[in-house]
Amino acid sequence: MTTDLSIVNLILGASPLVQLVMLLLVLASVFSWTVILGKWRLLGRARESAEAFEKTFWTTNDLGGLYQRVARAERKPGENSLETIFVAGFRDFIRLRKDGDLSPDVIMEGAQRSMRVALNREVDALETHLPFLATVGSTSPYVGLFGTVWGIMNAFRALGNAKQATLAMVAPGIAEALIATAFGLFAAIPAVMAYNRYVTEVDRLSSRYDAFFEEFSNILQRQAHK
């Protein structure tokens, strides 16, 4: 007597609870891949936008004209972060400077506050859904292990009721249980790898934004004291 140990047959033959665990892991994997691909596109566009804007910013002699062009352009959260930081700071700098009663320090504090708020919002947009990847990466193996333990318990319970115990009787139950662990690893490994890489990319972009914040603040500081 032979037993069909194909993956599909083992999944269909698993207990309802183990099948539920597998379904949850498949859904977690699908959602995590959606986040992975979406975040990959977002971070790529953020890097390209930062490089393009920095090149334009450091080659222009007319910050007012640059502000007029950038302020009218459509910007997406996370994708055009340096432009958003620049617009936020320069807009408040111009507005506060028109009030002749304000000192240069007060003007700079207002401009820097606006830039810092914009910077934090842009970094938050880049970090969106990263905690989900961390959660999938850290919990999926344990969820899969729970399904495996439950399936093995059922296999040995059925074996205990048999008059003659053989490996052929317990092998299908153990095999179908181990698939739950495989599903857990399948969901966890890409999520962990993507999370680690994307956290590093976000940190690099955040450092880049901080550097621009400081450099642009120095430029505005000089203009405020003129």
How far apart, in whole angstroms, are the C-alpha atoms of residue 45 and residue 79?
6
Q: Is the pLDDT of residue 6 over 70?
A: no
Checking if the pLDDT of 226 tops 90, the result is no
Q: Give per-residue pLDDT as tens, 64-75.
A: 888 888 888 888
Q: How confident is the model at residue 222 (pLDDT cuts 50, 70, 90)?
A: confident
Q: Give the residue carrying structure tokens 């093995």.
A: 152
pLDDT class of 49 with cuts at 50, 70, 90: very high
Amino acid found at 69: R
The string of pLDDT tens digits covering residues 201-216 is 999 999 999 999 999 9
The pLDDT of residue 2 is 45
**CB atoms < 10 A from the CB of 93, how many?**
25
Q: Give the confidence band of 104 by pLDDT, cuts at 50, 70, 90.
A: confident
Tell me the three state secondary structure of residue 73: coil
Nearest to 73 by CA among 84, 57, 60: 84
pLDDT of 220 strictly over 50: yes
Backbone angles phi, psi at 77, to 5 degrees: -55, 130
What percent of the chain has pLDDT above 70?
84
User: What distance in Å separates the CA atoms of residue 140 and residue 191, rounded to the nearest whole number?
Assistant: 10
Can you give the pLDDT at residue 1? 40
The pLDDT value recorded for residue 161 is 60
pLDDT of res. 86: 93
Determine the average pLDDT of the residues in 70-89.
87
Q: What pLDDT sits at residue 198?
A: 95
Residues in contact with 95: Cβ distance below 8 Å, sequence separation at least 6, in sequence order: none
Identify the three-state secondary structure at position 75: coil
